[in-house]
Chain A
Amino acid sequence: MTSNEDMNSNPFPPLSNLQRLAISESGFVFDPVSGHNFTVNETGLSILRLLQKDTDVEPILSQLSNDYDASLRDIERDVIEFASVLRDFVGD
């Protein structure tokens, strides 16, 4: 369950780890430090693009609320889950 408490601490990997990622238009992502690669869907791709500029949660939630027809609660939950997967791939 998502709560405000979850969002109070930044759930994303450090900005420097995200900015080093090579992201292709197809959603293929390569981390040149760890050598890991993974794929993201269209939504993941747009979140990653936003994260490479700033890892503040609020602007991302706001942008996703504008782009997708879903409740803020659902968006928060999905973003938290995505952040957890990202930390596994690019380190925290």
Chain B
Amino acid sequence: MSDEITVAITGMNAKPDNPGPGLAVARCLRESPDFNGRIIGLGYDGLDPGLYLGEFCDAGYILPYPSSGDEALLGTLKTIQEKEKIDVFIPCLDAELPNLVRLRPSLEEMGLTVFLPTPEQLRLRNKDRLKELADHAGIESPETKSITSAGFFYKCQEQGWSFPFVVKGLFYDAQIVNSTEEATEAFRRIAAAWGFPVLVQKLIKGEEYNLTAVGDGEGNMLGAVMMKKMAVTSKGKAWAGISIDDKTLYDASAALVKAISWRGPLEVEVMRDRHGIYQLIEINPRFPAWIYLSAGVGRNLPLALLQLALGKPLPEFDDTRTGKMFIRYAEETITSINEFEDVMMKGGHSLTRPQDNK
């Protein structure tokens, strides 16, 4: 990619128990010899570390929360766009997608190219429609039910819902609950954060496997990378994992992508029992936080997405490499109160790449 382009990436949060994917996406691009552009990190909190990491981002800005409304978001993006001249915009958080997919014409009018699903495609992979999609793709999935009242937990056993099971947000968050009290507390917390309905899902025992890829919007799944979680954080997020190659998982995921002609990045989460039977847990409409493994196995998916967005030829994907591991670690970055002030009071700032200081 010879042209110098500017890419904006969201999800610059990186709390160790539940990091956003943005920094890993930025790292995939920054370290690629085929990328020679600028990266603009976008976050929602002044303490998102990606807003201060010059090795990955050339500038960092704060966006208003999705709940602030379209006007606030578009206004902020317009201000950033006037300064940074962004070519491609890669959102990385689940909660952003419904708004951004709907606002795609406004984003494109601003000059921000996106490679996102349509609102209909996004709706089809909603967590409350998982079973429908899984059936279509020929993969098992645990029983899932939408609820709008915590009263469900007081009579759930009569309806065949024995504890433990999982309480999930429509966009994000999940908690295994073991009692009515625990379920009620989880319901209230998740509803407050993510709104209604709240989902309950039967608990599947097994090992968790994930696949990430990019859908080209024409039914094809590109550059699949599969991973088995080897260690997880207290929130169930991968802390270590290993690349694998399982045709069953690949075929099921390819069928899911084909069923909805998915356009954009995605992550398929499944549980696998000891007999090798997969149960579809969810489909996330974005890259996962472990996406750096894709660069590690020679399938740089953020770079592929960029090429698709720009209508350029895809980079070559290496043959599947199994046995490549990632082990995540937490690290501090040192910044100054002046930098923090810029982010908090001016909404963002430019960053200097470390090598430029040498």
Contact = CB atoms under 8 A, between A and B. Distances in A.
Interface residues of A, number: 11
A5 interface: no
A91 interface: yes
A34 B228 contact: yes
B230 A91 contact: no
B242 interface: yes
Interface string B207-234: 1010000000000000000011010000
A33 interface: yes
A30 interface: yes
B275 A91 contact: yes
Main DSSP-derived SS at the A contact region = loop
B323 A33 contact: no
B245 A33 contact: yes
A35 to B, nearest CB: 3
A72 interface: no
A47 B244 CA distance: 25
Interface in A25-84: 30, 32-37
A22 interface: yes
A35 B276 contact: no
A35 B242 contact: yes
B274 interface: yes
Contact of A35 (B209, B247, B274): B209
A13 to B, nearest CB: 11
Contacts of A92: 275
B217 to A, nearest CB: 30
B274 A88 contact: yes
Given A34-B246, A34-B276, A91-B274, 17 more contacts: A30-B322, A30-B323, A32-B244, A32-B245, A32-B322, A32-B323, A33-B246, A34-B207, A34-B228, A34-B244, A35-B228, A35-B244, A36-B228, A37-B242, A88-B274, A91-B275, A92-B275
10 contacts: A22-B322, A30-B322, A30-B323, A32-B323, A33-B244, A34-B228, A35-B207, A35-B242, A36-B228, A91-B276
